[in-house]
Every structure is written in C-alpha cells, then in structure tokens.
A and B are shown apart, each in its own frame.
Chain A
C-alpha cells in the first residue's frame, strides 16, 4: 500500500462520507423544522424523502417533464402531502399529547410507505444526474458530479433556512410558536398557520433530499425508514432544533460510517452510527450544539 494510494483511498472515503452525510443532514433538518414549531418528532420524515425521489421519477418518466421541472413538481407535491398530514391528521388530534402525535406520524409513515408500494411497486427507480458529463478524477479520487449537487444543494438549504428562521418575520413567528404557543397567539401570531407551514416546509426539504440523491442511490418504496432513522440520529446528535448542528452531525455520521466501512469492516457500519447516537445521549443528551438550558425546557 503506497503512501499516495493510501491518500487517494482516504479522500475517497471522505468524499463518500460527506455526500451521504449531507443527505442525513437534510433529513435531520426536516425533523428540526417541525420540532422547532411543534415539539413533535415527525417520523414520516424518511417517507417524505422517499416520496421526493419517487415523485421525481413519476414526473420525469411517466409525465415526460424536463428534469428540472420534474424535480420542482415532486418537491411541491410532497410539500402538499406534508400540508395534508398537518391539516387532516395532526390538527384533528390537536388535543392529544406530543407523544401521541408522534405516534400518529408513525402511522402516517406506514400509510405513505404502503401507498408508495401500491403506486410504484417494489422495484427501485432512478433519475438521470442533474448535470451532463460523467465522473472525473481529481487527485486519484473519482468525483461524481451529482455528489457535488448533493453538497451544494444541502448547503443552500441550510443557509436559506438559517436565514429564514433568524431574519424573516415568518421564521421568527414560527420559532415563537414553539417556545410558547399561548403567548404567540396572544401577540397575534396565527399559530395554526405556522404549524401548517412547518409541516409543508419540512416535507419540501425532505423531498429535495430525495430528488437529489435519487440519481446516485436509486429510490424504492421502503427506503424511507432507514434514511429517517439515520437522519433522526443526526438531528439528536446535533441537538434537536439546531440547523447548523444537524449539518455538522450529519456529516460526522456519514464520515464515521464511511471510514468504518473503509478501515474496519462494512459489517459494523450501522453499529457505528448507533454507538455515536447512544454516546451522545449518555454524555451530552442535548446534542453537540444544543444548550442544556433550552433542552431542560423542552417537553420531549
């Protein structure tokens, strides 16, 4: 094993780790948006990712739309699914506790998975890469242009969401709802609209993740659960509700998986993610970037 070759392998592991990590981060961000506004953990988040990919395929292959339009339509469609989830399921159960609402989202995820199986069958599907031109070699490392798309789009989404929640009127209003819904209502914030918006937004982010990774990883009806689980790990590791935390934690998770597969054994890869998650819960339950005080105030 020559030194130079070793370097190339290292870079290759790092690149695939960062790419897969960016996807985990996008899923984690979806969790965070809803959590920030309602304190609900939406376990249908992975299903939104799956639907994003499969609707992309539907619009591109079945309806024959151009790729960009197909992806946008898929994102909008899944956004509407998120809207429906809030309007007709979560809102109906609004007097229930946070925990039972979480259970409702699990039921919804099973429904979405079953529906997707009926609509698309069990075969995997793929979208073409967003840009032409195949893989190029850089420093002995094969770089997939689609991986760059994944990274770029994740970065844009994180930046946009951070700005949205910190600077915009609606973003601040949404955060206020999470902090204290009654107080928010008193100062004239339409809490229901904000909750509705949070579900639509998080479904949209999930769908973006699904459509962007579909050219690399393919997509089939039962992919949601595992992506959802890894994304949840990233969300907890980064501190629930923290966008930049989710990004860092997602990438840490992706990198550790990839290096484990490369240098230890790929059989232990999923265990590494779980060990990381568990040790975070043991030693720093508020996550890498969450504050202890804030965590103490949360109900879940």
Chain B
C-alpha cells in the first residue's frame, strides 16, 4: 500500500515539474508565432541513395533554422516534417500518404530518387497536393497534362546531353562513341544521347553498355578507338566512371576527348582518378562551381551564400543534391510567403514562377514546363590541375 502511494506521488511530482517547465517555455512560443506553416519532405536519408538524401536533409534543416531565426514566413514559423524513405519507393509512397493524410501538409518536397518520385507523383496528383521532386527523370513532370501538381528542380538528362552536344558542335566534333552503365541512370542517359544526336548533327558510331559493378572497361574503350570516334561519352555513377577515366588515360587515348555525365561532379572522383582525370569534360550545375562564376552572374550570390553556410555548419563540401533541396524548399517557402498554406494556390504560384534564382539555375516555370530549367543553366567544366575549371568554348 505504502509503496503504491509513493509511486503516485512520484508521478505527480514529475507531472508538476513537466507542467512547470512547459509553462516556462510557453510564453515565448506564443509570442513568437502565429500558427506554423508546414512543409513535408521525403528524402532517402538511409539506404543505397543516402549519399544523395543526407545532404538534402542537412540543407533543408539548415534553411528551416535560418528562416525561423529570421522570424519565419510572414511571422509564421516554418515547420519541416522530414521522413526517410530508406531509398525504397514503397516507403516513399507511405511517407507521402502520411504527410498528406496525417500531417496535412500543403506542399511536399522530394523524394530524392527518380523511381520514388515516379511512384508518388500519382498520389500527389490524386490528393491535389503540390510536390516538388528532387530527382532527375523528365518523366516525373511529363506529360504535363498528367502532372498538374508535380514539379521538379533537378535538371533533366536532356539538358545535360544538350549542353554536351552544343559544346561538341562548337569544337567540330560529330562522330562520337557512347558507353553507359546498365542502371536506371545509365539507361536514361543512353536514351537521351541517342535521341538527341540527330538533332545536333552527331553520329553515334559505337554504343557500349556495361554492368555497374564491372571492374574493367578496357574492352569498351578499345572498341571506341577501333570505331575511330572523335569523342567518347561515359554515363555512369560510382567506381565505373573512375575506371573509364583511368582506362582512357592508360590506353593513351588523350587525343579523343572524354566527356562524363554530370554524375562525375564530385570531388571524391577527382581524388580517386588523380592525375588521370586531367582534361575530362562534363556539364555541371552551377552550384558545384560557385567560386568559378563571374561576380556579375545572377546566381553567384545565392550559391556562395549557401556554399559558405553549409560548409561552415557541416564541415563537408556542398553537393548538387543539397542544392536540389535548397531549390525545392525555397520555392515552397516563396509560395507560402506569397499565397499562404493553400495547396491549390501554391500550385498556381509555382507554375507561374519566373526568374527564380536558385542553386541549379534560374527557374522559369510555365504550364508547359514544370522543370523550369534549360541547358543554359549548366556550365561546361573541365578538370584542370585536379580541380574544376570552366571549359573554354
């Protein structure tokens, strides 16, 4: 009996203390804000794509803190609800459903990956909640008639290929060989490389595919040399893109320029490839090359501000992926600021956004284009002295 009473007293004491401390906090919270504005986010924070989702999460949280420390959105604090889809499209669907039904967010950013974004697009569509995807595939926003509520901030393969082909044309290159990894990323790049080639007057003389875990690309490169191509395009992520560079250098094929996809745009690759990467060309989003941009460039200021804040806070270099989250969240915030937490109004605001200066370009959305970027938002970059440099045209 005695023991039980003591237990009751203990619980009461804890409750009193809890209430007291909550009371201490409350006046401040009430003073600071009107009701918070919610933004839902789904990122691949763990799992195979965590190297994409992790910087996205960090960036989003950083922006939330910045906005809230500056008084929120029109006085409303920004509440960010982030779910981890574990790099799994099925879990993305669950997360998006939960954001819509339970959390009742007016706008969602993410998911990180193309397959997840494609899986959740119809859900956002049916629930009439705008979704700003951070993934690459153009199919996420096309055909626009079926993607009324879906937007994306990551550039499409089409832009990367367009930029590459523009550069080749300027350099008088018309016969190329392409080698692509047999992954979703590689296959989609291959499709665009082949589809756009005739438009730019480019002939693909060799078309090679390889496995994402292959350990040797000598045969493919030799075949390129045999076909007498004027340039080689390699489209993959992971170790194979480094193997392409070292193989190209080992076979003494420097006289045939090597182009890589934007997937090569990580300093880790430069480190791994070392001196062999000298002269490799690739189209990159400006967020990766902020310091190289001329001061007059409209994106320079936002990119440098983000780069400095991120690198100071997390002690790691910025990546394009964090840049996607920056663009998506700032677009959502701009919409909330302009029209408040109303899904339909946010959608209309996003669709009519023009000249939004982001990390990945200057976005110009329209009812026909829910990506808002073009090939002009990329820079052709060359590896020089183990670092990125703008390629001379």
Interface residues of A (CB under 8 A from B): 1, 5-6, 9, 12-13, 15-17, 19-20, 23, 122-126, 134-135, 137, 142, 144, 213, 216-218, 220, 222-223, 226-227, 258-259, 261-262, 265-267, 269-270
Contact = CB atoms under 8 A, between A and B. Distances in A.
A6 B51 CA distance: 43
A23 B215 contact: yes
Nearest to B209: A267
B250 A266 contact: no
Interface residues of B, number: 31
Contacts of B216: 16, 19-20, 216-217, 258
Given A16-B216, A217-B243, A262-B223, A123 B208 contact: no
Q: Is the interface of A mostly helix, strand, loop or mixed?
A: helix
B210 interface: yes
Given A9-B222, A23-B215, 6 more contacts: A12-B219, A124-B272, A125-B272, A126-B272, A217-B215, A262-B222
A223 B216 CA distance: 13
Given A5-B226, A142-B250, A218-B272, A12 B50 contact: no
B291 interface: no
Interface in B205-245: 208-211, 213-216, 218-220, 222-223, 225-226, 238-239, 242-243
Contacts of A1: 226
B219 A13 contact: yes
A13 B251 CA distance: 12
Contacts of A15: 218
22 contacts: A5-B226, A9-B223, A12-B218, A16-B219, A17-B219, A20-B215, A20-B216, A23-B215, A122-B50, A122-B51, A124-B238, A125-B272, A135-B251, A142-B251, A217-B239, A218-B242, A218-B243, A265-B209, A266-B209, A267-B210, A269-B210, A270-B211
B48 interface: yes
B264 to A, nearest CB: 13
B182 interface: yes
Interface string B238-267: 110011001001111000000000000000
Nearest to A215: B246
A123 to B, nearest CB: 6
A137 B214 CA distance: 24
Contacts of A226: 211, 213
Given A9-B226, A126-B272, A261-B210, A16 B239 contact: no
B268 interface: yes
Contacts of A122: 48, 50-51
Nearest to A263: B223
Given A262-B223, A266-B209, A218 B250 contact: no
Interface string B179-208: 100100000000000000000000000001
A226 to B, nearest CB: 5
Contacts of A217: 215-216, 239, 243
Contacts of B211: 226, 269-270
Contacts of B208: 261, 265-267
A123 B120 CA distance: 28
A218 B238 CA distance: 10
A195 B250 CA distance: 43
A135 B218 contact: no
Main secondary structure of the interface of B (DSSP, over half): helix
A261 B216 CA distance: 11
Contacts of B51: 122-123
A227 B209 CA distance: 19
Interface of B: 48, 50-51, 179, 182, 208-211, 213-216, 218-220, 222-223, 225-226, 238-239, 242-243, 246, 249-252, 268, 272
Contact of B215 (A12, A126, A216): A216
> Which of A23, A220, A259, A265 has the largest count of B CB atoms less than 10 A from its CB?
A265
Contact of A261 (B213, B215, B223, B243): B223
Contact of B239 (A124, A142, A266): A124
A261 B219 contact: yes
A217 B243 CA distance: 7
Most buried by A among B225, B249, B251: B251
A138 to B, nearest CB: 12
Contacts of A137: 252
Nearest to A5: B226
Contacts of A213: 215
B87 to A, nearest CB: 11
Contact of B250 (A6, A144, A269, A270): A144
B219 A267 contact: no
Contacts of A270: 211
A168 to B, nearest CB: 33
A1 B205 CA distance: 14
Contacts of B251: 12, 135, 142
Among B51, B211, B223, B225, chain A packs the most CB atoms within 10 A around the CB of B223
B222 A218 contact: no
A258 B48 CA distance: 29
Contacts of A262: 219, 222-223
A123 B226 contact: no
A49 B48 CA distance: 21
